[in-house]
Copies of this chain bind each other. A is one copy, B any other.
Amino acid sequence: MSDDDAGSAADPGAELATDEALRALAEPRRRAILRLVAHEELPAGQIAEAFDVTRTAVSQHLSVLRNAGLLHERRDGTRRLYRARPEGLAGLQAFLDQMWATSLHTAARLVEAERGITEHDDVTAAG
């Protein structure tokens, strides 16, 4: 908490959750897994069969996704059924919405300011 944290978010807790979710989604294979279990609930083995990597790799991906709050796990005997967890995306939605609104507002403001310069009008409206 010094002069280092330049663009800090309003809620640090939400930022941490967003960080995990973002890091989890940054991997293409994890996004593929998420898309797979977004359509239907599937056991780990069946998810692993959909890719040409080992079960181990898929299992680790599932752990990352689950820790990020993006996956819902349900036990069924020896099997573990997974499905996407919509709530896990809420933080990202909020992050993107705020970023979108802020940058759009700034862009509009800059365009207006530049138009004021190029047209060389009186800038009584500004301020």
| Copies of this chain held together in the complex | 2
State how many residues of chain A have any CB contact under 8 Å with chain B. 44
B41:A106 contact, CB within 8 angstroms:
yes
CA distance A41 to B109 in the complex (A): 10
A102:B4 contact, CB within 8 angstroms:
no
B51:A35 contact, CB within 8 angstroms:
no
- For the complex, is A38 an interface residue (Cβ under 8 Å from B)? yes
Which residues on A are within 8 Å of B, measured CB to CB?
A: 3-9, 19, 22-23, 25-26, 28, 31-41, 50-52, 72, 83-86, 89, 92-93, 96, 99-100, 102-104, 106-107, 110
Given contact pairs A6-B36, A7-B32, A19-B28, A86 touches B100 in the complex (Cβ within 8 A): yes
